[in-house]
Amino acid sequence: MNVHVADSELKTRHRAMWAAGDYPAMVETFLLPVGPRLVEACGISPGARVLDVAAGTGNASIPAARTGASVTASDLTPELLEAGRRTAEADGLELEWVEADAEHLPFDETSFDVVMSSIGVMFAPHHQDAADELVRVCRPGGTIGLLSWTPEGMLGALFATMKPFAPPPPPGAQPPPLWGSEEHLAALFGDRVQFHTLERDVLEITAFERARDYGEHFKAYYGPTIAARANAARDGREAEFDEALERFCDEWNRGTTDRARFEKEYLVAVGTRR
């Protein structure tokens, strides 16, 4: 199989994975704060040309548009873009919504003032390709802003929990939470981006009554969890998967047995494109 065909099939699987479940419902349940957090960190202003890469439902794109910026939201999965478009229209906001692969962006070089991604581009399998595209489409002196879950945090632990049950990753693919590592970003961008903000923070999640409700939510709504459990089921290991996820939820609960509370660590990285 040639590289182009293999890559096309991989992207088709990724698109289907993110269309599975109900990611927009997950955003509404507890992810809304991270988009505005990145927009604020990027210092987006009226009239700025902004590209949100792997924008999903527009969790960062829509707050950016509220500043008066000219925003393009791009994502591999059209179902997520459509959900974002409906939200934006209900808010009376105009954005451009473009189906696009983060590793092969269909935009001209140096065409944006701000290129950002909130828990999005980190899920592109080939990290260097995606990083190179972020740099390519950002003008010199422009801003590159990223908000990514960390390897040491709760999302990193979730992926480690699911890994034994998931299909083997494709050749060259790297784990998504690496984007939340300062060292990994330095390796990806080198001297092309001068990061002036590298801040770790946590998203506090209090939407679930019991700790294991978090796991049930992910099994119902989150594409990567749905895919990993389906693969476990093919091997007759779904009960083992469920038990591992329950242990994970219990371990990461920072609340009580009656009211769960989780802290999901992320890294905000904002820099100037040289």
**Averaged over 72-97, what is the pLDDT?**
97
pLDDT in tens, 115-166: 999 999 999 999 999 999 999 999 999 999 999 999 999 999 999 999 999 9
Question: What DSSP designation does 121 have?
Answer: G
Residue pair 59/118 in contact (Cβ under 8 Å)? The answer is yes
> Look-up: residue for tokens 């749905």?
226
SS3 233: helix
**Rounded distance, CA 188 to CA 53, Å?**
16
Give pTM, 2 decimals.
0.96
| Domain of residue 83, CATH code | 3.40.50.150
pLDDT in tens, 33-51: 999 999 999 999 999 999 9
pLDDT higher than threshold 90 for residue 268 = yes
- CA end-to-end distance (rounded Å), the chain: 38
Q: Which domain holds residue 193?
A: 3-273
For 252, other C-beta atoms within 10 Å of its C-beta total 20
Beta carbons of 134 and 53 less than 8 angstroms apart: yes
Residue 96 to residues 14, 74, 141, Cα–Cα distance (Å):
22, 8, 23
What's the structural domain count of the chain? 1
Structure tokens at 69: 């910026």
Quick one: pLDDT band at residue 8, thresholds 50, 70, 90? confident
Cβ neighbors of 215 (< 8 A, separation 6 or more) are 242, 245, 246, 248, 249
